[in-house]
Structure 1
Amino acid sequence: MYEWLLWFHVISFISWFAVLFYLPRLFVYHAENIENEGFVKVAKIQEMKLFKYIGVPSMWATILSGAGLIYLGGWMSSPWLHVKLLFVALLIAYFYSLNKYRLEFLEDRCTKSGKFFRIYNEVPTLLMLVIVAMVVLKPF
């Protein structure tokens, strides 16, 4: 059972990260083409579908399968897990910040630049580095 749950967790994690990497990139294009009505209309649809239909389900699948792995692995007292969970919480906050920007774009009130979103797009990479290091290296 554990191996199948781990498999599902990794697939969910990859799917969620696809959204975490691509949605801010869509925001770059959206911000830089704000005057192009046709493009903006399509971007809003893509952003919504990516967030709601791929992002939210894959985030919950990652969280729930991760909780199952913690339970089955008996790791609740492991210090590395607490560090990992802290960074996962930051990742969840980042994910919902993307929804905040998505809604601002939807209502034509986002004032952030393409450059901002290029930089903001690096946040999940940094969080992922720590999360994966905690799981693989278990340093504490």
Structure 2
Amino acid sequence: MPDVLFSIYPWIKALHIMAVIAWMAGLFYLPRLFVYHAERAEVGSELDETFQVMEEKLLRVIMRPAMIVAWLAGLVMLGMGAFDWGAMWSWVKLGAVLAMTWAHIWMAARRKEFANGTNTRTGRQYRIFNEVPTILMFLIVIAVVVRPF
């Protein structure tokens, strides 16, 4: 790695970690909002509108930008040689990150259902889905730090 890239790598990595933390906070919180929204708010009520504002801003202001920055910083690090194409841990992380991105997209679609008044899922279903980002986070951290694969 050229000296310039070597010197900025820790900054890119720090940016990546901060973006992942912000993204994960949203991935943990949004399904919890959906639980309460599904269980306590009647369509068209003031509480329904409050939840819709909270969910939309969480996605638009925190989660989406954090996901984009996490992906961009990750791709920059990938281009700098941080990805070991021959190691299984790298592929496990990549697969889990793709699944995390799918979870984000799935949640964004559910937010639109709440906004349109067409949500059909229960609070229990959102509670179960709330575990998906946690499981993926465990998988990613173990793959990167412990590298058992």
Q: TM-score range by the shorter chain?
A: over 0.9
Find out whether 1:79 has 2:88 as its counterpart: yes
Larger CA deviation: 26-35 vs 7-16 = 26-35
SS of structure 2 residue aligned to 1:75: coil
Q: Mark the runs of 5 or more structure 2 residues left unpaired by the alignment.
A: 1-7
Counterpart of 2:109 in structure 1: which amino acid? K
Q: TM-score, normalised by structure 2?
A: 0.89
**Residue of 116, 121, 139 corresponding to 1:107:** 116
Q: Mark the runs of 5 or more structure 1 residues left unpaired by the alignment.
A: none
SS of structure 1 residue aligned to 2:80: helix
Q: TM-score, normalised by structure 1?
A: 0.95
Q: In structure 1, what is the equivalent of residue 134 of structure 2?
A: 125
Q: In structure 1, what is the equivalent of residue 77 of structure 2?
A: 69
Q: CA deviation at 1:35?
A: 2.1
Q: In structure 2, what is the equivalent of residue 48 of structure 1?
A: 56
1:11-47 residue CA offsets vs partner (Å, 9 max, x unmatched): 0000000110010011011001122711111100111
Tell me how far apart the structure 1 counterparts of residues 116 and 138 of structure 2 sit (CA, whole Å).
34
Kindly report structure 1 stretches of 4+ aligned residues shifted beyond 2 Å.
73-76
Summarize the Cα distance change of 1:45–1:93 in structure 2 as closer, same or farther, 3 Å threshold.
same
1:48-94 residue CA offsets vs partner (Å, 9 max, x unmatched): 11011111100010111111122223424132111110111011001
**Residue of 6, 12, 17 corresponding to 2:19:** 12
Please report the RMSD computed on the Cα atoms of aligned residues, expressed in angstroms.
1.3
Tell me how far apart the structure 2 counterparts of residues 2 and 93 of structure 1 sit (CA, whole Å).
27
Q: Which has the larger radius of gyration?
A: 2
Q: In structure 2, what is the equivalent of residue 34 of structure 1?
A: 41
Q: In structure 1, what is the equivalent of residue 28 of structure 2?
A: 21
Counterpart of 1:129 in structure 2: which amino acid? F
Tell me how far apart the structure 2 counterparts of residues 112 and 90 of structure 1 sit (CA, whole Å).
21
